[in-house]
Amino acid sequence: MKTQVLDKHQTDVAAEILKNGGVVGIPTETVYGLAADALNGEAVAKIFKAKGRPADNPLIVHIAELSDIEAFGLVRELPESAIKLAKEFWPGPLTMIMKRTDVIPREVSAGLDTVAIRLPSHPLAREIIKLAGTPLAAPSANLSGSPSPTTARHVLNDMDGKIDAVLDGGQSEVGVESTVITLAGETPRLLRPGGITVEQLREVLGEVEVDDAVLHRLADGAEAASPGMKYKHYAPRADVILLKCSDEDFINYINKHASDGVCALCCDEDLFLLKTKTVSLGRRGDYLTHARHLFDCLRRIDGNKTIHTVYSRLPSTEGVGLAVYNRLIRAAGFEVKEL
């Protein structure tokens, strides 16, 4: 299959492919998605095949308007909490899990009785959903296990020849996947941190639990509230080692271990102090920028075949820092080295 590269004026071409049951890489404000008609099980199955995604990992359904939830009959009931969150954070990087109806194909829900719904803020994403005339199921457009794509080039690196097209909408603004919250239980619970912080969610809803899997490795045999959390994810080929230490110790430790195969994932302020290869997330403490650059940094490290070890600071868990922490702790296999 030849993968077409579409520009931002070709949303109609993308929508036509989607209407006909094809798969298209689309830009969103978080990361690029691999989209298909969410109400067409056969089309959705093609996403799993292209990504090599385990069949028990459900997909997010993307809509263009809040009213699409009722218009397409996606959920059994729209909880009050969902309406409050939608008012505050939609369109935007927030996914809400609710009890689904039978309109949702088995391929999308992966056997769960819930569905994850998101209304993206990226104008091209919304336009494509509107033109396609159907909600779009879309996971991140990477090969299963790899860092998520934040440019059309990243999508092509993973998916060329495997999907019908990718629409180039420039670099994703947020850079990490959406915040996922489930509203299907008694108390709202954060399943994946992202651009909307848990602090922001609590301001609107009051109590919000944080699922154990956000910060920790799942215990053997434990069931994941979000199936995606049990899989290895976001990992570059090289070993990622997270260091918990002072800034001074961070620099000294890396310089002591400097070699051709070593790279530091660091901040701009470290660049002139380090005697290794470096990839910078941005200015120290600027968590929004770190989130935006994270996956591109991991992919750049992957691009250098000599690198076998990556050292990084253990990120902060404050604000959007938690989203970066959640991705890097997985990339590091949950190991932290305290100096």
Could you tell me the two tokens for 305?
């075949």
- CA-wise closest residue to 202 among 179, 185, 218: 179
- Please list every residue from 82 through 111 that binds ligand TXA, using CB under 6 A: 95, 97
Q: Is 182 in the site for Mg ion (CB under 5 A)?
A: no
Q: Is 140 in the site for Mg ion (CB under 5 A)?
A: yes
Q: Please select the residue that binds ligand TXA; options are 139, 169, 175, 282, rule is CB under 6 A.
A: 139
Question: Cβ closer to ligand TXA: 107 or 270?
Answer: 107
Could you tell me the two tokens for 15?
């929508």
- With CB atoms as reference, the residue minimizing the distance to ligand TXA is 228
Question: Cβ closer to ligand TXA: 247 or 334?
Answer: 334
- CA-wise closest residue to 171 among 27, 23, 25: 27
Q: For residues 260 and 277, give the distance between their C-alpha atoms in angstroms, rounded to a whole number.
A: 8
Which of the choices Mg ion, ligand TXA, none does residue 47 contact, using the CB cut-off of 5 to 8 A by kind? none
Cβ atoms 310, 238 nearer than 8 A: yes
Question: Cβ closer to ligand TXA: 77 or 338?
Answer: 77
Which of the choices ligand TXA, Mg ion, none does residue 118 contact, using the CB cut-off of 5 to 8 A by kind? ligand TXA
Q: Is 328 in the site for ligand TXA (CB under 6 A)?
A: no
Estimate the crossing angle of helix 287-303 against helix 152-159, to 10 degrees.
40
* Residues in Cβ contact with 187 at an 8 Å cutoff, skipping those fewer than 6 apart: 207, 208, 209
- CA-wise closest residue to 326 among 221, 179, 114, 137: 179
Could you tell me the two tokens for 150?
């934040």
Pairing between β-strand 189-192 and β-strand 179-182 as defined by DSSP bridges: antiparallel
Would you give the binding string for Mg ion spanning residues 100-119, x where CB under 5 A is met?
--------------------
Cβ atoms 135, 124 nearer than 8 A: no
Q: For residues 39 and 41, give the distance between their C-alpha atoms in angstroms, rounded to a whole number.
A: 6
- With CB atoms as reference, the residue minimizing the distance to Mg ion is 140
Would you give the binding string for ligand TXA spanning residues 3-42, x where CB under 6 A is met?
-------------------------x-xx-x---------
Q: Please select the residue that binds ligand TXA; options are 11, 81, 114, 134, rule is CB under 6 A.
A: 114
Question: Cβ closer to ligand TXA: 59 or 78?
Answer: 59
Could you tell me the two tokens for 320?
């959007």
What residue ranges bind ligand TXA (CB under 6 A)?
A: 28, 30-31, 33, 57-60, 95, 97, 112, 114-116, 118, 138-140, 177-178, 180, 191-192, 226-229
What residue ranges bind Mg ion (CB under 5 A)?
A: 140
